[in-house]
Amino acid sequence: MTKATKAQQARAAENGRRDLASEDPEQLKHYYHQMLLLRVFEERTSEMYTKAKIGGYCHLNLGEEATIVGLMAALTPDDYIFTNYREHGYVIARGADPGAVMAELFGKETGVSKGRGGSMHLFDAAKHFMGGYAIVGGQLPLATGAAYALKYQGKPGVVVCQMGDATTNIGAWHESLNLAALWKLPALFFIVNNGYGMGTTVEEGSAEPELWKKGCAFQMHGERVDGTDVLAVRDATRRLRQRAEQEGEPAIMDVISFRFRGHSVIDADRYRDAEEVKRERARQDPVLLFAQKLTEAGIVDDAWLKETADRVKREVQEAIDFADKSPDPKIEELFDFMYATPVPNTPGRAEAAAIAEQIGGGR
Amino acid sequence: MTKATKAQQARAAENGRRDLASEDPEQLKHYYHQMLLLRVFEERTSEMYTKAKIGGYCHLNLGEEATIVGLMAALTPDDYIFTNYREHGYVIARGADPGAVMAELFGKETGVSKGRGGSMHLFDAAKHFMGGYAIVGGQLPLATGAAYALKYQGKPGVVVCQMGDATTNIGAWHESLNLAALWKLPALFFIVNNGYGMGTTVEEGSAEPELWKKGCAFQMHGERVDGTDVLAVRDATRRLRQRAEQEGEPAIMDVISFRFRGHSVIDADRYRDAEEVKRERARQDPVLLFAQKLTEAGIVDDAWLKETADRVKREVQEAIDFADKSPDPKIEELFDFMYATPVPNTPGRAEAAAIAEQIGGGR
Amino acid sequence: MPVITYRQALNDTLGEELARDPNVLLMGEEIGKFQGSYRITEGLQSEFGKQRVVDTPIAEEGFVGLATGAAMLGLRPVVEIMTINFILVAIDQIVNHASKIHYMFGGQARVPLVIRTPSGGVGQLAATHSQSFENWFAYCPGLKVVAPSTPYDAKGLLRTSIRDDDPVIFIESLALYDTKGEVPQDDDYTLPIGVAEVKRQGTDITVVAYSRMTVIAMQVAQALEKEGISVEVVDLRSLRPLDRTTIIDSVKKTNRAVVIEEDWRSYGIGAEIAATIQEEAFDYLDAPVQRVAGVEVPLPYAAKLSQASKPGAQDLINAIRRALQGGKRWQK
Amino acid sequence: MPVITYRQALNDTLGEELARDPNVLLMGEEIGKFQGSYRITEGLQSEFGKQRVVDTPIAEEGFVGLATGAAMLGLRPVVEIMTINFILVAIDQIVNHASKIHYMFGGQARVPLVIRTPSGGVGQLAATHSQSFENWFAYCPGLKVVAPSTPYDAKGLLRTSIRDDDPVIFIESLALYDTKGEVPQDDDYTLPIGVAEVKRQGTDITVVAYSRMTVIAMQVAQALEKEGISVEVVDLRSLRPLDRTTIIDSVKKTNRAVVIEEDWRSYGIGAEIAATIQEEAFDYLDAPVQRVAGVEVPLPYAAKLSQASKPGAQDLINAIRRALQGGKRWQK
Ligand SMILES: Cc1ncc(C[n+]2csc(CCOP(=O)(O)OP(=O)(O)O)c2C)c(N)n1
Ligand SMILES: Cc1ncc(C[n+]2csc(CCOP(=O)(O)OP(=O)(O)O)c2C)c(N)n1
Ligand SMILES: [Mg+2]
Ligand SMILES: [Mg+2]
C-alpha cells in the first residue's frame, strides 16, 4: 500500500504538461481540430435544444474536450468504450459521423441509435462505442463484463469505462472495481472529474476526495491526470492501457477538468458563483490553452486557426443539416428491435401499423 | 494514508492477547460462563434442528463465542446492534432470555420476534438489539441510519453493525461506509472474519484480503483483532467505541475467528479439508483457550469449570423446555403487526379467522 | 381555498411538517443547494438548515436504507428519489427491509418513512427515464402506496404519509408538478390512505385512474358529456391498500368500466383493477373491462414513437366507446 | 424416455450446453467449489474448469451486470442467483440495462444472457427468503420470462433460453428440484419460449398455473376427476411473452377459469390472467375467474402461520367449486 501510494504520487506529478518538440505537428493539429469540433458541436447542440430540435435531457462536454480527444488518441480499434450520458464528444472523437450523432439528438432514423436512444443513449457498434448509459454507475458492471469477455476470448484490447466523479460513491463502483481487480481484467476506470455531481462537490460526496486513491480498497493502481492537457491524458492513458492489456492490471484515472455550464442544458447553474465560473472557464479552457501552446510552439498561426474554425463551423452545420433533413423513425417500425431472437405472441409490424392508423385518429 | 496504515499495523499488533492480572476475576468468570452458554446453546440448537423442532435456515455461532462476548462486554445499554442472520449468540449475550431466543427458533408466540421472524430474524427492542438480517449487506445501511439518528438527536451511544467477511464485497458496504465517514457517524463496522462466505474464501472474494484496510477508500480507520480472545475483542471495541462516540470517527473491526462447522446446519462442509478443520477447531477453540488461561492464572479450577458446565447445561435445557411448552402463534393473529398505523381496506382479525376456519377444511 | 400548483402544495406541506415536528427531515440528491431537480424542495434548506434538509451522495441504496434505520430509532425521514427509475438500485432496502421490519419482528420496530418520487414519462426522456414501477410496490405487503392526482390530494396525502408510522411510497408525476388546483390551508387537513375518491359522478361508465391519468380521465369525461355520455371517474389515490369497495360500487351502478394507466399494460396496475371488477361485480358487467395503458416497449426517444407509445385522451375515448358498444349480455 | 429429477434435467442441460458452445459459461455464488447451494451445478466446475464455471463474490449487481456486458461481446453467460429474493440488489442491471440494450440502441447489441433463480417458498424460510418476483420481470418489455413446471419443460426451456439471443429470466422452484419426470435425451430437443401448454384436457373448467402450482393443479385435476369434474390445466410455461391464445381457447371451451399462483394475490401474475380472460372471453364466461394466491403478508416463520399463508390444493379445490357454482348468466 505504502509503496503503491508513493508510486501514485510520483505518477500524478509525472502527468504534468509536456513540451511539443517530440510531437508530430500534423497529429497536434488533428487533436486541435477534434477538440474544436467537439466544442462547436456542443455549442450548437445547446442552441438546437433551445430551438426544440432536441428533447429529453441533454448533457454537454464543454470543458472536457482535451480529456476526450486525449483518451481517444491513446486507444486502438480493438478497444471498447462505455460511458455515461454525457457522451456526445466521445462518440464523435471515436470516429462516428457527427451528422449521425446530431441526427440521434434530433431523434431521426439516421441517428447512431436509429432515433431510439437519444442524447443519453448513443451507440456505435462499428466503432466499439458500447453505449451511453443514463443510470449513474450502470455502465460500470457492463464495462467490467466487456473486459471479462476480452480476457475470456483471449482477444487484444482494453475496455474504457468512463464515468463522472460522483459515480464513485455508488455501490456499482465498489462491486465492479473489486471484480476487475480480483479477476485481473483489462479495464480502465476513467473518471471525468469535473468537480461536481450536478450541484454536489466531490468533497460533499466522497469521504476520500482524492478519487484516484479510492482504488486502495482493491489494491488497484490510480493516477490523477490534468484533463485540460490533451497530451497528458493521451500519454497516461497509453501507459495504463498497455499495463491493463499486457499485465491484466486495471487502473483508475482521475482526470480533472472544469464543467463550463450547468449539469445539463436546462440547469441554470445557480449554485455556482457566476464570477468564479467565468474565471475558471478562462483559466481552464482546453481549446484556448492548446491553441496558445501550438501558436507559441510555432506549429500553427492565426491563419490556420481561423481556417480551422471555419472548417469546423462548416462541419457542424453539415451535421445539423443532415439531421434536419433526415426522416423520423416510422411508427410502423415501433416494435422493430424488440427482441433479437423472434418469439411468438409479441407485437410486430402489423400491430405497429394498427397503432399508426389509430394515431391518425389522434393520440 | 501512509501514516494511517502504520498506525493501523501498530494497533493490529497491540490487539494481541493480554494477561489477566489486571482483570476482575468475577468478570472473567462471567465471560467464560457466557461463552460456554453460547457454545452449548448452539450445539443444542443444531440438535433441535435435526429433530425438526427448528425449520428454515439456521446459522450457528460455534467458534465465534469470544468475539460475541468480548463485543458485548464493551458496549453500553445506550448502544444499538444490527447483525446478519448468524446472530443467536449476539442476542443472548446482549441480555435476551435464552428461552425466548430458543422459542423464536421453534417459531413460538413467546419468541423474541413472536415467532414471525425465526432464526435469521431475531429482534429485542428492549435490549437495543435491532435485528438479524438475512440479505447479505442489508443491515449496513440500516445500522448507518441508526447511527445517523443518534447523532441527529444528540443521544449518547454508538451503533455496532456486525457482518461477515464476504459482506465487504457488496455495494451496500461501500455506500454505507462512505456515508458513515462523510457524516462522521458513531458506527462500528464489525466484521466477523471466519475466513469464508459459505465456501468462498476471503481471498477469492476480496481483491484486498486484509479487510481492515478496506476503510482506506473512505479515510476510515480499521483494525484487525483476534476474535478468539475475549479480552482483545473487548478492549479494541471499547477503544474504538469511545472514539466513535466522542469524535464521530467510525471504524472497521476485522475480527478473526474460525467457523467450526458448515455455513449453516444443512451444509455438509465438503469443500473444507476435514482434517484441517479438526486441527483448527482444536487450535482456535475460544472456550477451551479461555478455560486454560483462567486455570493457568489460578482464577478457576476444574471443579468450577465442571459446575459451570452443569449450570449451562441446565440453563440451555430450561430454554428448550420453555420453547417446547410455549404456544404457537394463532392463525387468527396472522395479520397482527401488518401495519403500525391502521389503514382501511386491509385484512385483520376477521379475515384471519376466516383463513383459520378454512384450514379446518385443510390447507 | 387558494389555487396553487401541485409543486407548491408539496413544497408547502414539506415545510409545514418540518416546522411541526423536529424529527421530520428531508433527504435526497440535490434537494438542498440545488433546490431540488424539480424544485419540490426549493428554499427549504435555507429555511431549515442542512441538518433538516440533507443533500446526499449518489447512493440511493445507502441513503434509503439509512433513512429506514433512522426511522427505526424515531426519526421521520422523507426521502426524495429523483425519479422512480433510480429507485431500482435501492429497491432491496425498501422491499426486503423497510416493508418487512414491523411485521417480521413482531411489531417491535416502526418505520415512519416516506419515499417521494415522480413516476411515468414526459417529453422525450426515453427508455431509462420514463418508467412506472408503482405496481411493483403496490404488490408488496407492508408498504403503503399513494399516487395523488391533484394539488388538493397531494397535500392531504403527503401530510398523512409523513404522520403515518409505516413506510409510504409517495408517487408523483413530472407532468403534474405545474398543474393547479384549490388547496385547503387548514392546518389539520389530511386525507386517509387506502381510500379512493369518486372524482366525478356519472351513470353510463366508470373510468378508474390514478395520478396523471386521472387528469386525462376528467378531461375526457367532460368532453364526452357534450355527446351525452355520462362518465364516472374513480381516482384510486392509494394503490396499496386498494379501495376495492369504491371501485365496485361505481361499476355496480354503471355496469361498464375502463381503467387507464401510464404503465405498461401487461402485469400493470390495470390488470389488478380489471381482475377485481370481474371478481366482485361479474353479474353487473355489461361489457369486458377495457384497459388503456402504455405500449410495451422500452420507451423510444424519437418524438413520434414516444408519443405513439404513451396512453392519451383519444385512447381513453376509443376504449370508452368499445365498452359502451358491448351490448347487454341478456340481449345476446 | 428416462425419468430424472428437475435438478438433474437442469444439471444435464447446463453440462451439455457448456460442452456444445465454448462461449457458454456459468457464473454465480457458490456454484463451483460448493457445488451450488441447491446442487444444480454439481460437478460442472470439476468437469469444465474455473474459467467456464465461475464462483463469484457476493456482488449480484456486479456480476449480473458483468455477465450482461460480457454477453454484449458475444459470450453466453448463464447466471445463477441463489434465490430470487437476492435479485433485488441486481434488478437495476436487469431492468434498466439488460432488458433495454437491444431496443434502445437500435438493434446494435444483443444480450444472450440467462438468469436462473428459484422463486417462491418452501419449508419455513420466512419473509426475506420466500418471495416471488417473476411478475416484476414479466412486466418488463425486452425480457423473456419462463417458468417450467416439469423436468421435461425445464430441459427444453433451458436449452432454448441459453441459445436465445435475448435476456431470459429462468424461474425455478426449490420445491420442484426433487420432482421427477420423463426427459427426452435427443440432442436437439427444445421447447419454444412464449408458448403455453395444455397439460391436461378437460371440459368443465380451466385451471391456469405455472411452475410449482402446475403440479398442484394436476394433482387436484386428478382428484376431482373421481367426482366427475373434468379440469383442463393450462401451464403457462412462459410469463413473457404471455400466450393468451392458449388460455382463451381453453376458457372458450370450458366457460370457467381459476388461476393459481404462489405469489401475493394483489398485482400478481393471476391479475393479468384474469384481466386477459375477461377481456378476450367475456361472452364465454359463466362465472368470474377465481384467483388462488399467497396471502398478503411478509411470510411468517412459524410453521402454522407460514402454511396458512401459502396457496395449496385445498384452496384450489375450493376455488374450483366456487367457479362451478357460478350459474350460467342467462339463467339468472
Ligand atoms: C442511480 C441514479 N441516481 C441519480 C441519477 C440522476 N443523476 C443524473 S447525472 C447525476 C450526477 C452525476 O454526476 P457525475 O457522476 O459527477 O457526472 P457528471 O454529470 O458530473 O459528468 C445524477 C445525480 C441517475 N441518473 N441515476
Ligand atoms: C444479497 C445476498 N446474496 C446472497 C445471499 C446468500 N448467502 C447467505 S449467507 C452468504 C455468505 C455470507 O458470508 P459472510 O458475509 O462471510 O458471513 P458468514 O455466513 O460467513 O458469517 C450468502 C452468499 C444472501 N443472503 N443475500
Ligand atoms: Mg461530475
Ligand atoms: Mg464469513
pLDDT at A214: 98
Contact B328 D303 (CB under 8 A): yes
Q: How far, in Å, from the CA of B162 to the mean position of ligand 2?
A: 13
Q: Which ligand is nearest to the CA of C58?
A: 1
Query: What value does the mean pLDDT of chain C take?
Result: 97
Task: Answer yes or no: are the C-beta atoms of B117 and B87 closer than 8 Å.
Answer: no
D-contacting residues in A 129-158 (Cβ below 8 Å): 130-131, 133, 135, 138, 140-146, 148-150, 152-153
Helix (H, G, I), strand (E, B) or coil at C246: helix
Question: Cα separation of A97 and A104, whole Å?
Answer: 11
User: What are the DSSP calls for A14-46, one per residue?
Assistant: HTS---STTS-HHHHHHHHHHHHHHHHHHHHHH
**Mean pLDDT in residue range A74-81:** 98
Question: Cα separation of B114 and B313, whole Å?
Answer: 25
Q: How far is A104 from chain D (nearest CA, A)?
A: 10
pLDDT at B136: 98
Q: Is the pLDDT of residue A3 over 50?
A: no
- Tally C-beta pairs within 8 A across C and D: 148
Question: Cα separation of D288 and D279, whole Å?
Answer: 12
Q: Which residues of chain D, if any, have pLDDT below 70?
A: 327-332
Contact A130 D109 (CB under 8 A): yes
**Could you say which of A117, A166, A204 has the minimum Cβ distance to residue C126?**
A117
Residues 6+ apart with CB under 8 A from A207: B177, B178, B181, B182, B217, B218, B219, B220
Contact B361 D314 (CB under 8 A): yes
Residues with CB under 5 A from ligand 3 (ion): A 164-165, 194, 196
**Could you say which of D96, D142, D296 has the minimum Cβ distance to residue C88?**
D96
Is D102 among the catalytic positions? no
Among A255, A256, A262, A305, which residue's Cα sits nearest to residue A284? A256
The tens digit of pLDDT for each residue in A6-15 reads 555 545 555 6
Say how far residue D312 (Cα) sits from the centre of its chain.
17
Is D29 close to ligand 2, i.e. is its CB under 6 Å away? yes
Confidence of residue B11 (pLDDT cuts 50, 70, 90): low
**Could you say which of A117, A149, A152 has the minimum Cβ distance to residue D104?**
A117
Among D107, D108, C300, C310, which residue's Cα sits nearest to residue A116? C300
Contacts of A175 in chain D (CB under 8 A): 57, 59, 61-63
Which residue in B has a C-alpha nearest to residue C75's C-alpha?
B149
The one-character DSSP state at C19 is H
Task: Give the residues across from D208 on adjacent strands.
Answer: D234, D259
- C241 upstream amide cis, omega within 30 of 0: yes
Single-letter code of the amino acid located at C89: V
Is B261 close to ligand 2, i.e. is its CB under 6 Å away? no
Q: Which atom of ligand 1 is nearest to the CA of D92?
A: 1
Query: What value does the mean pLDDT of chain B take?
Result: 95
What are the DSSP E strand ranges found in chain D? 3-5, 24-28, 53-55, 76-80, 114-118, 144-146, 168-172, 180-182, 197-200, 205-209, 231-235, 238-240, 257-264, 290-294
Helix (H, G, I), strand (E, B) or coil at D240: strand
Among C44, C43, C104, C97, which residue's Cα sits nearest to residue C70? C97
Task: Give the residues across from D235 on adjacent strands.
Answer: D197, D209
pLDDT at D331: 36
Q: Which residues of C touch A (CB under 8 A)?
A: 29-30, 33-35, 37, 55, 57-62, 85-86, 88-89, 123-129, 295-298, 300-305, 307-310, 312, 314-315, 318
The tens digit of pLDDT for each residue in B47-99 reads 999 999 999 999 999 999 999 999 999 999 999 999 999 999 999 999 999 99
Closest residue by Cα to atom 17, ligand 1, is A164
User: What are the DSSP calls for A158-212, one per residue?
Assistant: -EEEEEEGGGGGSHHHHHHHHHHHHTT--EEEEEEE-SEETTEEHHHH-SS--GG
Contacts of C302 in chain A (CB under 8 A): 107-109, 115-116, 118, 328-329
> How many other C-beta atoms can be found within 10 angstroms of the C-beta atom of residue B299?
16
Query: What value does the mean pLDDT of chain D take?
Result: 97
**Mean pLDDT in residue range A240-260:** 98
Helix B25-50 vs helix B286-296: crossing angle, to nearest 10: 150
Catalytic residue among D17, D29, D42, D60: D60
Query: Residue D212: which H helix or E strand, with range?
Result: helix D212-225
Q: Is the pTM of this model over 0.95?
A: yes
Q: Which residues of B touch A (CB under 8 A)?
A: 1-2, 5, 169-175, 177-178, 181-182, 204-208, 213-214, 216-220
Task: Answer yes or no: are the C-beta atoms of D47 and D15 closer than 8 Å.
Answer: yes
Residues 6+ apart with CB under 8 A from B30: none
Give the neighbor-by-neighbor strand order of the sheet with D205-209: D197-200, D231-235, D205-209, D257-264, D290-294
Q: Which residues line ligand 1 (CB under 6 A)?
A: A 86, 134-136, 163-167, 192, 194, 196-198, 263; C 29, 58, 60, 82, 86, 89
The tens digit of pLDDT for each residue in A18-73 reads 679 899 999 999 999 999 999 999 999 999 999 999 999 999 999 999 999 999 99
The tens digit of pLDDT for each residue in A180-225 reads 999 999 999 999 999 999 999 999 999 999 999 999 999 999 999 9
Q: Is the pLDDT of residue B101 over 60?
A: yes
| Integer Rg of chain A from CA | 21
The tens digit of pLDDT for each residue in B157-216 reads 999 999 999 999 999 999 999 999 999 999 999 999 999 999 999 999 999 999 999 999
Task: Answer yes or no: are the C-beta atoms of A123 and A129 closer than 8 Å.
Answer: yes
pLDDT at A14: 58
Task: Answer yes or no: are the C-beta atoms of D92 and C93 closer than 8 Å.
Answer: no
> How many other C-beta atoms can be found within 10 angstroms of the C-beta atom of residue C184?
13
Intra-chain end-to-end CA distance of chain A, in Å? 62
Q: Is the pLDDT of residue B340 over 90?
A: yes
Among A76, A285, A284, A96, which residue's Cα sits nearest to residue A188? A76
Cα→Cα distances C134→C137, C260, C269, C321, Å: 5, 14, 8, 28
Is B83 close to ligand 2, i.e. is its CB under 6 Å away? no
Which residue in A has a C-alpha nearest to residue B3's C-alpha?
A2
Cell output for C37: 431537480
Among D296, D320, D15, which residue's Cα sits nearest to residue D155? D15
Contacts of C242 in chain B (CB under 8 A): 345
Task: Answer yes or no: are the C-beta atoms of C309 and C214 closer than 8 Å.
Answer: no
Q: Is the dihedral of CA C125, C126, C132, C136 positive or negative?
A: negative
- Return the residue matching grid coordinates 458496549: B75
> How many other C-beta atoms can be found within 10 angstroms of the C-beta atom of residue C237?
26
pLDDT at B361: 54
Catalytic residue among D42, D102, D129, D172: D129
Higher-pLDDT residue of C37, A9: C37
Single-letter code of the amino acid located at C25: L
**Could you say which of B1, B204, B214 has the minimum Cβ distance to residue A213?**
B1
pLDDT at D285: 97
Confidence of residue B19 (pLDDT cuts 50, 70, 90): confident
Task: Answer yes or no: are the C-beta atoms of B34 and B69 closer than 8 Å.
Answer: yes
Q: Is the pLDDT of residue B10 over 50?
A: no
Cell output for C278: 370481474
Query: Residue A147: which H helix or E strand, with range?
Result: helix A139-152
Higher-pLDDT residue of B311, D122: B311
**Mean pLDDT in residue range C60-73:** 99
Closest residue by Cα to atom 13, ligand 1, is A197
Cell output for D78: 448463464
The tens digit of pLDDT for each residue in B124-174 reads 999 999 999 999 999 999 999 999 999 999 999 999 999 999 999 999 999
The answer to whether the complex's ipTM is over 0.85 is: yes
Alpha helix ranges (H) inside A208-348: 230-247, 274-283, 286-296, 302-325
> How many other C-beta atoms can be found within 10 angstroms of the C-beta atom of residue D242?
22
Cell output for D192: 419454444
Question: Cα separation of A189 and A217, whole Å?
Answer: 14
Q: How far, in Å, from the CA of C93 to the mean position of ligand 3?
A: 26
Backbone angles phi, psi at A337, to 5 degrees: 75, 5
Q: How far, in Å, from the CA of B201 to the mean position of ligand 4?
A: 8
Q: How far, in Å, from the CA of B332 to the mean position of ligand 3?
A: 55
pLDDT at B9: 52
Closest residue by Cα to atom 20, ligand 2, is B197
Task: Give the residues across from B225 on adjacent strands.
Answer: B255
User: What are the DSSP calls for C53-98, one per residue?
Assistant: EEE--S-HHHHHHHHHHHHHTT-EEEEE-SSGGGGGGGHIIIIIII
Helix (H, G, I), strand (E, B) or coil at A217: helix
pLDDT at A359: 84
Contact D128 B347 (CB under 8 A): no
Is C129 among the catalytic positions? yes
Cα→Cα distances A150→A91, D62, D68, Å: 21, 17, 14
